[in-house]
Structure 1
Amino acid sequence: MIKVINGGIEVLVEDWPGRLGYMGLGMAAAGAMDNLALQLGNLILENKKGDAALEIAGGYCQLEIVEDGVIAITGSDMSPTINESVVPMWKAIAVKAGDILKFSHFGQAGFRAYVCIAGGIDVPEYLGSKSTCLFGSYGGFEGRKLAKDDVIKVNKKMFQELLVKN
């Protein structure tokens, strides 16, 4: 699980390819804005291709790791740190319960970073996707951006398996 300390500018649950085939009914596709970064993060963690992750727009986000696991940070370089120590992007990172993951602001390239979590995020699918649609208030985490004290569940089985590998 991951607890939100500060949601920053905007943090959403997004997947890829998003919610397809419902535009004619007024349902937006949603989905990751930088789908390549999300897909590569899932590949690094051996997740399923379409697993949901946290999409951080703009930065200034702080998250507390509630249980041991493995994450990958991809997309825009927002100078991520864990417990005030700089961490690499585009690589599997073991995290421990109590670790604080912080992001500064967006860098020179891109506006969104992704926190992919081994096993993916555990939120209900809505019309075939876990992505958030803000203007419709559906999908993702309660159909909204993440806020202080929200707790995000992860799929534990694979989360624990990858932890053993790293």
Structure 2
Amino acid sequence: MDIGTIARIYAIGYMLEPIKVRFRKGIKINMLEMMLEASEDESRMLPRWLARILHANGIADVQEQDMGIELLRALSREKIAGEQLTAVKHDFYIGLKEFISRQHAANRDRLMVSLQDIVTLRLKKIMDYSGKLRVTSSNITPEIEQRLSVEERALFRALHDAVSIFRGYILDGGEGEVKR
């Protein structure tokens, strides 16, 4: 499966995850056999997609971690770690992309610069790790896998396959196929 397809599947899961909202005003909705009733200042966990709709209509405030701050923390950790790959949540880029899409142009541009920085740092490390694995090993080690986002896992596998083909072709005189 390609990276875009994997990311879209996980993005659906991301939007279904519950997040905390605080209602600005009371609400009572009964629609399509779904009932939502809440009073002003009440807090509740709701699916992210519903929380976004309620927030956009001034009904509720979404109480979640600021992904801009999380991006800066992750970038700082990545720089400090040197050659080591630090851990990010499996939906790190999905959450960031969704967060950035909701920002004003000036803030969006600033966030994109930081996003490009962390992508560049992590790409270098992922390419280094994928090149170091033995040709006979087709699996990501659990230690590395737990540090990668879903998109990075797909990239890692693709890079590892490409490196394996190259090594096999050059070193073994093979046909340039991945052995699984």
Bigger Rg over Cα: 2
Q: Name the one with the larger helix percent.
A: 2
TM bucket (normalised to shorter chain) is under 0.3
In terms of fraction of residues, the more strand-rich structure is: 1
More relative contact order in 1 or in 2 (CA 8 Å, sep 6+)? Answer: 1
